[in-house]
Amino acid sequence: MQDCKDIKGKEYVLYYFLNWSKNRKLAETLTRLATYKHISAGESILEAGQRTNYICLVVSGLVRGFYIDEEGNDRTKCFSVPGDWCCSYNYLSDMPCPFYLEAEQDTVLAMFNIQDVDNIKEKFPILKTKIEELLAETMMKSEQRIYSFISMEAKDRYMLIMKEQPELIKTVKQEHIASYLGVTPSSLSRLKKICQHLPYDNYKALCRL
């Protein structure tokens, strides 16, 4: 993980916060707080068991979160694309992170020290509200993922990815897509053949969560 001076990254982050907060002064202040890191594909960002005082915005590339189960199997938790936040929200309770984060591709992150962000909340009261909205959105995504495993078959989970994040199918290692879906790589190959000829039926049900 290397420091980098990413001019385009700064422009991206400013645009992100302008769109997110609709407040130029807040957007400019948050952009100044960012430090930029370049992470090579396969490089670790955060290890299970570590504590962190940073939250990270993906500027470019792709980040994967995953667990290692008791048998040593890699279980993909999530993928974070540009515009997504990747971090462990365990910082809220000062608990160690239970999963790993690594760069699936060469990636640039905008990193924010949590204390620095907290320090400007008094000056920008809207920031507290926007962070709460971000946490609520994260919780909703987590609920949707739990719902998909309880109520949907693997083929429907695969078709959901095809509909919402088709770029993942093309860019992510197939074994990581398989573990994200909860199937083996060979089962994923069969799913791909089946799903080429199936309509997507469960998407509206998922969106009604």
Same structural domain, 104 and 193: no
Give the angle 97-101-104 at the CA atoms, nearest 5°.
170
Segment 158-174 shows an average pLDDT of: 88
pLDDT, tens only, 134-154: 889 988 988 988 988 899 888
Check the CA dihedral 191-195-199-204 and report its sign: positive
Cβ atoms 61, 104 nearer than 8 A: yes
**132 occurs within a structural domain:** no
Domain boundary pick from 107, 125, 143 = 125
Same structural domain, 89 and 36: yes
Same structural domain, 99 and 7: yes
Same structural domain, 61 and 99: yes
Residues in Cβ contact with 190 at an 8 Å cutoff, skipping those fewer than 6 apart: none
Same structural domain, 104 and 158: no
Q: Please report which helix (H) or strand (E) contains residue 142, including its range.
A: helix 126-151
Segment 14-36 shows an average pLDDT of: 95
Same structural domain, 13 and 76: yes
**78 occurs within a structural domain:** yes
- Total domains present in the chain: 2
Same structural domain, 15 and 95: yes
Q: Looking at the predicted structure, is the pLDDT value of residue 209 above 60?
A: no
State the pLDDT at residue 162. Answer: 85
Distance CA 207, CA 209 (A): 5
Q: Looking at the predicted structure, is the pLDDT value of residue 197 above 70?
A: no
pTM of the model: 0.86
Range of the domain at 186: 152-207
**135 occurs within a structural domain:** no
% of the chain at pLDDT higher than 90: 57
- Name the residue with higher pLDDT: 73 or 197: 73
pLDDT, tens only, 82-138: 999 998 777 777 788 999 999 999 999 999 999 999 999 999 999 999 999 988 998
pLDDT, tens only, 34-52: 999 999 999 999 999 998 8
